[in-house]
């Protein structure tokens, strides 16, 4: 089961000759979730051979142009491609009126439905749940209302230990009840705890997208032990004052959040166009959190399956 992130854009407000502005694609079990949609996003989707028709959900972090200006173009392209499936957009409510106006103005004979899901910027809550993937909103700290997103697999029903099926002669009805969390009562009245009867074979995977944001320790508990953390690092630590003034983070800020949250891996991006090389930012981040990486457009970060010990000897 695939769970991987493709970086479409890694620059901040100004694109460069090698970096587009912000956009990521999460492939979760062959379903594609687009996070932010800067100018040029659809070009990057084509370059990276990502099937646009498989994108049914788009999440917009905030309403600065370098995170949203590609949206109306992508919607128009979907229409030209003959799309019929609904497109779900999760964003701050202020976008809806502007988006509907632009669709009406620029898109002829709209052939599919755009379903808008307003986000409450300062509230941490579940905003999407399809039974397999859950998305939580993460309040961020920026000059305007900004929201990060935590994507995680839902823990699926447990497996029943083979030896207990035989030991207690479990029926199909017993097995179904145990999978749903019930204990088992044996014929002689003994209560067998569910935890003894079951085990989970796979650990759910997770990915957090945190951009744009200044350093905010409120994030730490919300992304605890995340497998892959993308945290903006617009500036090197020498520009810490500028980062605070503009509502952005430094490479050191991002690394501190990763370290304090117990993240497994940190990837940093949203780099200021002033940097010809981002190697100094990587060095700063790794001095605090060793498993840090800078991103380039086109990078793919796979989160492999993690199998759990069944507890059997």
Longest CA–CA span in the chain (Å) reads 74
Residues annotated as catalytic are 66
DSSP assignment letter at 309: P
Burial of 104 (C-beta count, 10 Å sphere; 0-12/13-18/19+):
exposed
DSSP assignment letter at 235: B
DSSP-based helix, strand, coil % in the chain, nearest 5: 30, 30, 40
Query: CB within 8 A of 311, min separation 6: which ones?
Result: 161, 199
User: Which stretches of 186-273 are assigned E, i.e. beta strand?
Assistant: 191-192, 198-199, 202-203, 206-210, 228-232, 265-269
DSSP assignment letter at 157: P
Length of the chain: 313
């Amino acid at each position: 089961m695939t769970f991987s992130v493709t970086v479409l854009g890694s620059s901040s407000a100004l694109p460069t000759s090698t970096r587009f502005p912000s956009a990521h694609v999460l492939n979760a079990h062959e379903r594609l979730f687009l996070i932010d949609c800067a100018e040029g996003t659809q070009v990057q989707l084509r370059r990276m051979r990502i099937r646009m028709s498989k994108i049914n959900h788009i999440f917009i972090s905030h309403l600065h142009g370098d995170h949203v200006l590609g949206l109306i173009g992508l919607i128009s392209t979907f229409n030209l491609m003959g799309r019929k499936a609904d497109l779900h957009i999760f964003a701050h409510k202020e976008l809806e009126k502007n988006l509907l106006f632009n669709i009406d103005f620029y898109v002829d004979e709209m052939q599919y439905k755009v379903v808008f899901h307003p986000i409450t910027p300062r509230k941490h809550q579940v905003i999407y749940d399809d039974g397999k993937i859950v998305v939580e909103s993460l309040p961020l700290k920026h000059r305007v209302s900004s929201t990060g997103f935590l994507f995680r697999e839902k823990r699926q029903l447990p497996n029943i230990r083979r030896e207990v099926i035989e030991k207690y002669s479990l029926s199909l009805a017993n097995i179904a009840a145990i999978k749903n969390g019930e204990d088992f009562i044996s014929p002689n009245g003994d209560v067998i705890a569910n935890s003894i009867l079951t085990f989970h074979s796979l650990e759910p995977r997770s990915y957090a997208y945190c951009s744009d944001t200044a350093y905010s320790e409120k994030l730490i508990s919300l992304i605890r032990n995340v497998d892959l953390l993308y945290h903006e690092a617009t500036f090197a630590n020498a520009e810490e004052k500028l980062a605070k003034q503009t509502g952005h983070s430094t490479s050191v800020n991002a690394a501190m959040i990763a370290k304090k949250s117990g993240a497994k891996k940190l990837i940093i991006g949203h780099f200021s166009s002033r940097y010809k090389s981002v190697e100094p930012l990587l060095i700063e981040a790794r001095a605090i959190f060793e498993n840090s990486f800078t991103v380039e457009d086109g990078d793919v970060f796979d989160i492999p399956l993690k199998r759990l010990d069944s507890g059997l000897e």
